[in-house]
Amino acid sequence: MKRIGLKASCVVGFDGTQHVLWRDGEVVFEGSRIEFVGRGYSGPVDQWIDYGNALIGPGFIDLDALGDLDSTVLTLDNGDERAMGRMGSAEYLAAGPRETYSAEEEVFKYRYAFTQLIRNGITTAMPITSMYYREWAETYDEFAAVAGVAAELGLRTYLGPCYMSGMSYWRADGSLAHHWDEPRGLAGLAAAERFFKDFDGSHGGLIRGALLPDRIQTCTPTLLQRTSALSRELDAPVRLHCCQALSEVAMVEQLRGTSPLGWLQQLDLLTPRSVLPHGLYTAGDDDLRRLIDGGASLVHCPLVFARDGEALNSFGRYLAQGVNFALGTDTWPADLLENMRHGLNIARLMEGGTALTRSLDLYNAATLGGARALGRDDLGRLACGAKADITVFSLRGLHLGPLFDPLKNLLLAGRGDDCIASYIDGRCVMHDAQVNGVDYPALQRQAQRQYEKLMRSHSDRAFARPDWKTLFQPAIPFADDYSAAAPLSAIDPLS
């Protein structure tokens, strides 16, 4: 194993308590572990790489990582979501839900998404995809292939097939209803257990297992109780989306007689193994105390909710009371820098000032907070003995403006694609902004073809099966019927 040394004008180190900034700093690692962070390393080094005016820092941890060709962006300014076929109608359910993609296309979407994550400086991911265009949920065989893609690209991932015991659908009168299939949910949990036992720690520890039930409102009590027991048995993290919609809160309160977090507490699913996106709608201080006492972590995804005019009421107040925050992208773009920027600005709008939330709080959530949520003290930091998960962000971009503080410049004006190099487990997976082994133009063309297939599927799920092109309105109206004559896949996005 070679001993590699990295140099840059700025290095984010870790002093055992907090991130600290080294000017003209160095990071030295051998194999998968960091040996030195600071300045003036005097030992032997096989190769020095000087990145010049750049910020070397820990890789970002994304615990609601976009693993999809994102469908949430299709709702942008397209009217009532009930009419556009994102969630299935009663007639679609009666006809029998079906897969939108082939098995190969399902795996491709992860290759595309994982490339995007690496490109944006994310080194550890717990991916999320939509179940709306699936026949039911994810499968063991699918995720065996996904693990291979992650290992090939070199992305550190926490994986497992999503499972659920119910699905939501729209009635003809516009009301929300739910279809349940308990045996199918329990079969999904069995597949998740099998995957965990087969793949946890595989590929040199790069692939870790996780239990990933869909959402609190699509899981029966039995499914969640057995998930809780299996999490204890395997010491496996559990990610469960909750407190993300008023309709969810109302449903849980009606069915279970308590708030979503109160229900999770009864099920013993508020523990240090619990990773909970999104936490927007909580029952006041009682729910916060449940979170804090249980040791569960919230995964904050500010961008996807801001698009719909929703926001966490106070990131800073929750943090001050002891809630551990991680960050997630959830939606396109897979850019945690953008989510940090939105998170900071939204928090200050919601809090009415600058006193409660600092820029560093969001950066900590993307690094140290994510590591804590995973129970990992070897991730999210550059320190001796930590994993060599390292990113390099260029500080040369004109868009960054005059430099006054490298991290603040990146949070104010940076983009994920300012990341020019990435090392995961000591392996260089991206150099000069090029993810190893990935043909960007070919990847983008395949994604474009596949995305049109996704858009066409909205017609099947909508009432009366309207022409799919009528469901998606451009921001500026077309001057002629060009949109109907030229399907999206006929337009080369790279030409």
User: Are the beta carbons of 62 and 329 closer than 8 angstroms?
Assistant: yes
- Structural domain containing residue 366: 59-378
Distance CA 27, CA 382 (A): 8
State yes or no: pLDDT of 494 exceeds 80. Answer: no
User: Are the beta carbons of 423 and 124 closer than 8 angstroms?
Assistant: no
- CB burial of residue 216 (10 Å; 0-12, 13-18, 19+): buried
In a domain, 6, yes or no: no
Show the 3-state SS of 37-74.
Answer: EECCCCCCCCEEEECCCEEEEECEEEEEEECCCCCHHH
* pLDDT tens-digit map of 221-257: 999 999 999 999 999 999 999 999 998 999 899 888 9
State yes or no: pLDDT of 127 exceeds 80. Answer: yes
Residue 212 parent element (H or E): none
The pLDDT score that the predictor gives to residue 83 is: 87
Q: Please give the backbone phi and psi of residue 177, each rounded to the nearest 5 degrees, phi first.
A: -135, 170
pLDDT band at 477 (very low <50, low <70, confident <90, very high): confident
* pLDDT tens-digit map of 14-33: 999 999 999 999 999 999 99
pLDDT band at 483 (very low <50, low <70, confident <90, very high): low
How confident is the model over 37-62, as a mean pLDDT? 98
| 3-class DSSP state of 269 | coil
Residue 411: CB atoms within 10 Å: 19
* pLDDT tens-digit map of 400-434: 999 999 999 999 999 999 999 999 999 999 999 99
pTM: 0.96
Provide the token pair at 300. Answer: 């904050």
User: Are the beta carbons of 422 and 430 closer than 8 angstroms?
Assistant: yes
Residue 184: CB atoms within 10 Å: 16
The pLDDT score that the predictor gives to residue 474 is: 87
User: Are the beta carbons of 337 and 365 closer than 8 angstroms?
Assistant: no
* pLDDT tens-digit map of 350-396: 999 999 999 999 999 999 999 999 999 999 999 999 999 999 999 99
In a domain, 51, yes or no: no
Please report the beta strands in 173-310, taking only residues with DSSP state E, as ranges in sequence order.
Answer: 176-180, 207-209, 238-239, 274-276, 297-300
User: Are the beta carbons of 210 and 160 closer than 8 angstroms?
Assistant: yes
Distance CA 197, CA 450 (A): 32
Provide the token pair at 47. Answer: 């190769």
Distance CA 3, CA 42 (A): 13
How confident is the model over 465-478, as a mean pLDDT? 89
- 272 closest CA partner among 322, 312, 307, 320: 322
pLDDT band at 176 (very low <50, low <70, confident <90, very high): confident
The pLDDT score that the predictor gives to residue 419 is: 98
Mean pLDDT of the chain: 95
* pLDDT tens-digit map of 180-216: 999 999 999 999 999 999 999 999 999 999 999 999 9
In a domain, 4, yes or no: no
The pLDDT score that the predictor gives to residue 479 is: 84
Query: In this structure, which amino acid lies at residue 371?
Result: A
State yes or no: pLDDT of 482 exceeds 70. Answer: no
Percent of the chain with pLDDT over 90: 88
In a domain, 63, yes or no: yes
Q: How many CA atoms within 13 Å lie on the side-chain side of 14?
A: 21
In a domain, 459, yes or no: no
Residue 161: CB atoms within 10 Å: 22
Please, which residues bridge with residue 392 across strands?
A: 56, 421
* pLDDT tens-digit map of 288-320: 999 999 999 999 999 999 999 999 999 999 999
State yes or no: pLDDT of 489 exceeds 70. Answer: no
Looking at residue 174, which CATH number applies to its domain?
3.20.20.140
pLDDT band at 493 (very low <50, low <70, confident <90, very high): low
The pLDDT score that the predictor gives to residue 70 is: 94
CA distances from 121 to 115, 200, 245, 308, 417 (A): 10, 24, 30, 26, 8
User: Are the beta carbons of 277 and 339 closer than 8 angstroms?
Assistant: no
In a domain, 424, yes or no: no
The pLDDT score that the predictor gives to residue 79 is: 81
State yes or no: pLDDT of 488 exceeds 80. Answer: no
How confident is the model over 454-472, as a mean pLDDT? 92
In a domain, 22, yes or no: no
In a domain, 32, yes or no: no
Inter-helix orientation angle 182-199/140-153, to 10° = 30
Q: Which residue has the tokens 């496996």?
A: 236
* pLDDT tens-digit map of 427-453: 999 999 999 999 999 999 999 999 999
Number of domains forming the structure of the chain:
1
* pLDDT tens-digit map of 257-280: 999 999 999 999 999 999 999 999
How confident is the model over 106-124, as a mean pLDDT? 98
- 73 closest CA partner among 278, 330, 245: 330
Distance CA 77, CA 79 (A): 6
State yes or no: pLDDT of 81 exceeds 90. Answer: no
User: Are the beta carbons of 51 and 433 closer than 8 angstroms?
Assistant: no
| 3-class DSSP state of 384 | coil
Please report the beta strands in 240-303, taking only residues with DSSP state E, as ranges in sequence order.
Answer: 274-276, 297-300
Residues found in the chain: 495
Distance CA 46, CA 5 (A): 8
State yes or no: pLDDT of 6 exceeds 90. Answer: yes
